[in-house]
Amino acid sequence: DAGITQSPRHKVTETGTPVTLRCHQTENHRYMYWYRQDPGHGLRLIHYSYGVKDTDKGEVSDGYSVSRSKTEDFLLTLESATSSQTSVYFCAISEPGQFVLGEQFFGPGTRLTVL
Protein backbone atom coordinates (compact mmCIF):
# COMPACT_ATOMS: atom_id res chain seq x y z
CA ASP A 1 0.00 0.00 0.00
CA ALA A 2 1.15 3.51 -0.80
CA GLY A 3 2.28 5.35 2.32
CA ILE A 4 -0.43 7.95 2.73
CA THR A 5 -1.83 8.99 6.07
CA GLN A 6 -4.50 11.52 6.90
CA SER A 7 -5.08 13.25 10.21
CA PRO A 8 -7.36 13.51 11.96
CA ARG A 9 -9.48 10.56 10.82
CA HIS A 10 -12.60 11.97 12.41
CA LYS A 11 -13.46 15.50 13.49
CA VAL A 12 -16.56 17.23 14.75
CA THR A 13 -16.49 21.00 14.80
CA GLU A 14 -18.83 23.95 14.99
CA THR A 15 -19.86 26.36 12.27
CA GLY A 16 -17.46 29.26 11.94
CA THR A 17 -14.40 27.54 13.38
CA PRO A 18 -11.21 27.00 11.36
CA VAL A 19 -10.25 23.43 10.53
CA THR A 20 -7.04 22.01 9.06
CA LEU A 21 -6.72 18.53 7.65
CA ARG A 22 -3.32 17.02 7.02
CA CYS A 23 -2.15 14.59 4.38
CA HIS A 24 1.27 13.00 4.72
CA GLN A 25 2.99 10.78 2.15
CA THR A 26 6.18 8.78 2.24
CA GLU A 27 6.25 7.98 -1.51
CA ASN A 28 7.86 11.20 -2.75
CA HIS A 29 5.11 11.60 -5.35
CA ARG A 30 4.97 14.98 -7.03
CA TYR A 31 1.20 15.40 -7.26
CA MET A 32 -1.13 15.56 -4.28
CA TYR A 33 -4.88 16.07 -4.30
CA TRP A 34 -7.73 16.83 -1.93
CA TYR A 35 -11.16 15.46 -2.74
CA ARG A 36 -14.48 15.46 -0.97
CA GLN A 37 -16.95 12.62 -1.29
CA ASP A 38 -20.67 13.21 -0.87
CA PRO A 39 -23.60 10.89 -1.60
CA GLY A 40 -24.67 11.12 -5.23
CA HIS A 41 -21.58 13.05 -6.30
CA GLY A 42 -18.70 10.64 -6.27
CA LEU A 43 -15.38 12.34 -5.62
CA ARG A 44 -14.94 16.02 -6.39
CA LEU A 45 -11.59 17.71 -6.59
CA ILE A 46 -11.06 20.60 -4.18
CA HIS A 47 -7.42 21.57 -4.78
CA TYR A 48 -4.32 19.88 -6.02
CA SER A 49 -0.59 20.42 -5.92
CA TYR A 50 2.01 19.64 -8.58
CA GLY A 51 5.02 20.49 -6.46
CA VAL A 52 6.18 22.31 -3.34
CA LYS A 53 4.37 25.66 -3.17
CA ASP A 54 2.63 24.88 -6.50
CA THR A 55 -1.11 24.49 -6.11
CA ASP A 56 -4.22 24.99 -8.18
CA LYS A 57 -7.97 24.99 -7.73
CA GLY A 58 -10.25 22.11 -8.49
CA GLU A 59 -13.95 21.86 -9.16
CA VAL A 60 -15.18 22.80 -5.65
CA SER A 61 -12.50 25.07 -4.19
CA ASP A 62 -14.69 27.81 -2.67
CA GLY A 63 -14.25 27.96 1.12
CA TYR A 64 -11.02 25.93 1.07
CA SER A 65 -7.36 26.78 0.93
CA VAL A 66 -4.29 24.56 0.73
CA SER A 67 -0.61 24.72 1.40
CA ARG A 68 2.35 22.55 0.51
CA SER A 69 5.63 23.59 2.08
CA LYS A 70 7.21 20.13 1.86
CA THR A 71 6.91 17.35 -0.70
CA GLU A 72 5.41 15.01 1.86
CA ASP A 73 2.73 17.24 3.40
CA PHE A 74 -0.40 18.77 1.89
CA LEU A 75 -2.70 20.74 4.18
CA LEU A 76 -6.35 21.54 3.56
CA THR A 77 -7.81 24.44 5.55
CA LEU A 78 -11.40 25.45 6.01
CA GLU A 79 -11.06 29.03 7.20
CA SER A 80 -14.58 29.18 8.62
CA ALA A 81 -16.34 25.83 8.50
CA THR A 82 -19.95 25.64 7.32
CA SER A 83 -22.45 22.78 7.54
CA SER A 84 -22.21 22.30 3.75
CA GLN A 85 -18.59 21.24 4.28
CA THR A 86 -19.67 18.19 6.26
CA SER A 87 -18.19 15.42 4.14
CA VAL A 88 -15.57 12.73 3.85
CA TYR A 89 -12.27 14.15 2.65
CA PHE A 90 -9.74 12.06 0.76
CA CYS A 91 -6.16 12.85 -0.02
CA ALA A 92 -4.54 11.25 -3.06
CA ILE A 93 -1.09 11.18 -4.61
CA SER A 94 0.25 10.41 -8.06
CA GLU A 95 3.49 10.41 -9.98
CA PRO A 96 2.82 10.93 -13.68
CA GLY A 97 4.72 8.56 -15.88
CA GLN A 98 5.58 6.10 -13.15
CA PHE A 99 2.39 4.11 -12.89
CA VAL A 100 -0.77 3.62 -14.88
CA LEU A 101 -1.57 6.92 -16.51
CA GLY A 102 -3.79 8.90 -14.20
CA GLU A 103 -3.63 6.36 -11.40
CA GLN A 104 -3.93 7.95 -7.99
CA PHE A 105 -3.33 6.38 -4.60
CA PHE A 106 -5.68 7.36 -1.83
CA GLY A 107 -5.44 7.87 1.88
CA PRO A 108 -8.01 6.38 4.29
CA GLY A 109 -10.13 9.53 4.48
CA THR A 110 -11.18 12.05 7.13
CA ARG A 111 -14.80 12.25 8.19
CA LEU A 112 -15.61 15.88 9.04
CA THR A 113 -18.87 16.93 10.67
CA VAL A 114 -19.70 20.61 11.00
CA LEU A 115 -22.51 21.29 13.46
Partner 1 sequence: DQQVKQNSPSLSVQEGRISILNCDYTNSMFDYFLWYKKYPAEGPTFLISISSIKDKNEDGRFTVFLNKSAKHLSLHIVPSQPGDSAVYFCAASAMDSNYQLIWGAGTKLIIKP
Q: Nearest CA to 19 among 73, 68, 87?
A: 87
Q: How far is CA 58 from CA 8, 10, 11, 17, in A?
A: 22, 23, 23, 23
Q: How far is the C-alpha of 56 from the C-alpha of 65, rounded, in Å?
A: 10
74 binds partner 1 (CB under 8 A): no
Residue 19's contacts (CB-CB under 8 Å, 6 or more residues apart) are 11, 13, 77, 78, 81, 112, 114
30 binds partner 1 (CB under 8 A): no
Q: How far is the CB of 42 from partner 1 (least distance, A)?
A: 4
Q: Which of 11-19, 45-53, 69-77, 79-87 is the region at the interface with partner 1 (rule: CB under 8 A)?
A: 45-53
Q: How far is the CB of 91 from partner 1 (least distance, A)?
A: 8
58 binds partner 1 (CB under 8 A): yes
Q: Considering only residues 32, 49, 90, 114, which one is a binding residue for partner 1 as defined by CB under 8 A?
A: 90
Radius of gyration of the chain (CA): 13
Q: Considering only residues 73, 95, 106, 113, which one is a binding residue for partner 1 as defined by CB under 8 A?
A: 106
53 binds partner 1 (CB under 8 A): no
